[in-house]
Chains A and B, each alone.
Chain A
Amino acid sequence: MKRIDTAAESSTRLQRIREWTALPGGFGIITGISMFLTITILGVIYPLISPYTSDEFVGDSFEPPSWAHPFGLDQLGRDVMTRTFAAVPADIGVAFLGVSIPLAIGTLIGIILGISKNKFFVSLVSSIIDGINAFPLLIIAIAMISFLGPGLFNVIIILTIMNWARYARIARTRAVVVLQQNYIEAAQLMGYSKRRIIFKHVTPNVSSESLAYALSDFILVIIIVSGLSFLGLAARPPAAEWGAMIADGRTYLGDAWWITIFPGVALCWSAISLSFIVEGLSRRDRGN
């Protein structure tokens, strides 16, 4: 009896998943999520099971891909496959921090701006936000590195200092709209406390938009982190990082394409997986 029940239940769950996938954009979202999970899981697991470490010289320089070294060896004889997957924390991890910290700070500041009644404070902070947003993110990151010095940790600091402003602007605009909605007025009339209104009503409605932006910002930040490393301004050798590895391989492009191409594919793979999710979600949003 019980067995039948669970079978029926699991079939409906499967059915539900299938129906969800059949909705607009479902295929893109599923593909994107599986691609993203694949690269992150490989990034965690492969360095553990790999016979080599990322900065160990295991053979001759420029050894082409083979069964022992599917991605080949680099100019110093390090295993490119191990290095490619060992770079996941440096790229995806750093980008994740570089998005989530500004997301939290910026959304908070944006909501405060949205509800604040102090005109001077609001216009002062808003113009600072406009000023920060005026700089192209990559350019100001490059410039700040010259004052802070290169390194992945500094990249996180730079992203925190500079990227919150974009989230603050989104959250502020959204908070102003949300505060004018009827349900906020209703909540006020019902005598709910200010804190309850802000946390239960305003924040969830504001953060949905910020989260949507964060997802596409994630792509941009991955590209910026790897781009900075490519220029030699973020990850420093011998650290494994895609941008830096691509820059390393650049000199030997003609003779040893694998040094450049495999980290590049991993980088594109991550960014593209996220963009499939973004694309799928926006298709679902539009409903076609």
Chain B
Amino acid sequence: MTSNLFLRKVLGRLVRAVTISFWVMVISFLLIRLSPGDPAATRLGAGAEQEAVEALRKQLKLDVSPLEQFTSYTAGLFRGDLGVSLVNDVDVLETIRNTLPLTLTYIFLSVFFAFLISIPIATLIGWSNSASIVYSFRSITSVIIATPNFFIAMVGILLFSVQRDWAPVFGYVSEFPENLKYLWLPVSINTLILVAIISRVLQSSIVDTKSEEFVETGIIRGVGRTRFFFYYILKPSMAPTVVLLSYMMGTMLGATVILETIFSLPGIGRELVGAVLASDYPMVQGILLFFGVITVFLSFIGDLCAYALDRRVKI
């Protein structure tokens, strides 16, 4: 019975994720039709020859009816065919496969460090009853959250790359020990912002948890210190944080686009900006679709984790 309910909930949430993914696909298909005029002509510029424009229209499959376009687009997706870049004829899926690992690496690094730093901060501040400490904590974090990441990055570059030679301004080497030299500054900036976000949510949910009735019963039952902290304070407070994080996935992926561009890290975000600047439509469409689907599934996983932590969570 228990496992049945769990399974049903998870399946229900999965169905939702798949449905949303379908709409994500439709939207990324439709976007190219939004462009005023002919995308092929726009890309080739005013002086292009008629034949070249026609050829490009054919390549972009714009020469058939919209319904046919959609069916061939969908069919392509199921074959794993996201199209081919207009700039260098590389397969879009291949490009995603090459650029994604770096993006994921540094997102996971920053999330990991952010939790490592946030948990003690949030616990200590959640524990202190001093209004001035809580107030300054909330003010400082709200300042960090409101500051655009590219400005933080600029200040970081000014301090660590320009004034001291601690971080290379750009470039990247993918071998293990050297890549840390290029990664530490962007990861730290991302971590800083995440710490501000996570510790805020965690702190306020720790304060909420503290006043819960079950904490009182835990004290009375004489639960040991460590167990009390993990099972009566931290675990019940984690679920809201994880839910938030799963909502934030999209924003976080968006933020990587800017950081990757600034530090010229060859990740998927920089690839997107490059494709946009080069009007490489299949590439833009493919990466956009990928971003949409991955956001949907990351938030699916996030919701599952939250639900596994605390069954009160609605998914």
Contact = CB atoms under 8 A, between A and B. Distances in A.
A127 B20 contact: yes
Interface string B131-158: 0000000110011011110110011011
A223 B36 CA distance: 27
A278 to B, nearest CB: 8
Chain A interface size band reads 35 or more
Given A131-B24, A139-B253, A147 B39 contact: yes
A131 B22 CA distance: 8
Contact of B146 (A132, A227, A232, A275): A275
Interface in B273-289: 273, 275-277, 279-281, 284-285, 287-288
Contacts of B275: 146
Interface of B is mostly: helix
Interface stretch (A6-14, A15-23, A114-122, A249-257): A249-257
Contacts of A143: 28, 31, 272, 276, 284-285, 287-288
B258 A227 contact: yes
Interface in B224-282: 250-251, 253-255, 257-258, 261-262, 272-273, 275-277, 279-281
A254 B154 contact: no
Contacts of A142: 257, 272-273, 276
B299 to A, nearest CB: 8
B147 A272 contact: yes
Interface stretch (B77-85, B175-183, B290-298): B290-298
A271 B146 contact: yes
A219 B146 contact: yes
A231 B273 contact: yes
B71 interface: no
A139 B148 contact: no
A236 B185 CA distance: 29
A65 to B, nearest CB: 16
B245 to A, nearest CB: 14
A273 B202 CA distance: 24
A144 B30 CA distance: 11
B19 interface: yes
Nearest to B275: A146
Contacts of A278: 142
A139 B254 contact: yes
Interface in B12-31: 16, 19-24, 26-28, 31
19 contacts: A127-B20, A130-B23, A134-B21, A135-B288, A136-B291, A137-B254, A138-B255, A139-B291, A143-B287, A144-B34, A148-B35, A149-B35, A230-B258, A243-B148, A246-B150, A253-B154, A253-B157, A272-B147, A275-B143
Interface of B: 16, 19-24, 26-28, 31-32, 34-36, 39, 42, 138-139, 142-143, 145-148, 150-151, 154-155, 157-158, 162, 250-251, 253-255, 257-258, 261-262, 272-273, 275-277, 279-281, 284-285, 287-288, 291-292, 295-296
